[in-house]
């Protein structure tokens, strides 16, 4: 296990080096997936998604979203319920009626 002031042993270093060969391809796939996901979500009214500027090489892997305060409370409730079903949220904030 790595920690502060520790160096990897030979097996850890070999594994890390072997994974570095896959990094560019996996990063490209991850970025495409996040851009697709954000593109689909940006079509939902009342939900603000983060922008991914052109020319950036990385999209956020775990993007943060905002719900428009002027949107109906039902939107926040449906979003919260969907996140709970997906296992991404344990409980809905007060007032969202999830």
Give yes or no: residues 61 and 79 share one domain.
Answer: no
Domain annotation covers residue 3: no
> ∠ CA(3), CA(7), CA(13), 5° rounding?
110
Two tokens at 57? 């090489």
Does residue 23 surpass a pLDDT of 80? Answer: yes
Give yes or no: residues 60 and 76 share one domain.
Answer: no
**Counting beta carbons within 10 angstroms of the beta carbon of residue 47, is it exposed (0 to 12), middle (13 to 18) or buried (19 or more)?**
middle
Average pLDDT over residues 81-98: 74
Domain annotation covers residue 16: no
**Which residues form the domain of 47?**
24-67
What confidence tier does 11 reach under pLDDT thresholds 50, 70, 90? very high
Write down the pTM of the prediction: 0.58
């Amino acid at each position: 296990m790595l920690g502060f002031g520790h160096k990897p042993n030979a097996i850890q270093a070999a594994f890390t080096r072997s994974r570095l060969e896959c990094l560019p391809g996996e990063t490209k796939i991850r970025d495409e997936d996040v851009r697709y996901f954000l593109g689909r979500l940006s079509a939902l009214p009342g939900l603000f998604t983060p922008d991914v500027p052109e020319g950036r090489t990385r999209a956020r892997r775990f993007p943060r979203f905002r719900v428009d305060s002027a949107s109906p409370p039902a939107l926040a409730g449906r979003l919260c319920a969907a996140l709970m079903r997906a296992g991404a949220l344990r409980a809905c904030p007060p007032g969202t009626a999830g």
